[in-house]
Structure 1
Amino acid sequence: MYVIVSFDIKFKTNQEKIESVIEHFGLRKIQNTLYIGELDNNEQNTLVKSINKIIKEYDSVLITRICQNCYLKKETCGREIKFNNDLFRIY
């Protein structure tokens, strides 16, 4: 299942920690605070636990699941978002 992760983090140092966790799960940055990728249920649960360990009370992270069918119906305005296929998940 695809997930979209967006966040609003007050301090840059904590934002870098959150981004590091998100990228660790193989999610790809598509805008400044927006990531997308595929995670199964266990991976998503682990991601949530990892984020909860470092998130501060004034920060927020939104994780939205979308099915592949919905993802394929996406529309892009402006520059096209291209992904390099050389990204790997680190376990």
Structure 2
Amino acid sequence: MLERKQLKDRTYITFVLPADTPPGPVSVVGDFNDWQPGTHSLAPREDGTRAVTVALPGKSVHSFRYLAADDHWFDDEHADSHDGINSRVHT
């Protein structure tokens, strides 16, 4: 799931997943962090989910995927769109 907060020329996107699905550490990896795993790792929240927030330029489109333990890549079914293999977020 994606949560959004617009502030001036930036959009803060919070990437949210259930706390234990998939198990183990998960990071969001995309063109906004040069596809570097571990740069934006999801952390537990009090509501039973885990999340990470990334500030992105307004009026832009970004590709991303999630990377879990054991090199398990997966998409966000709630993304704004998909471009084949990647999820997409529109700010």
- Band the TM-score falls in, shorter-chain normalisation: 0.3 to 0.5
More strand by share: 2
Specify the structure having the higher radius of gyration (Cα).
Answer: 1
Q: TM-score, normalised by structure 1?
A: 0.34
More helix by share: 1
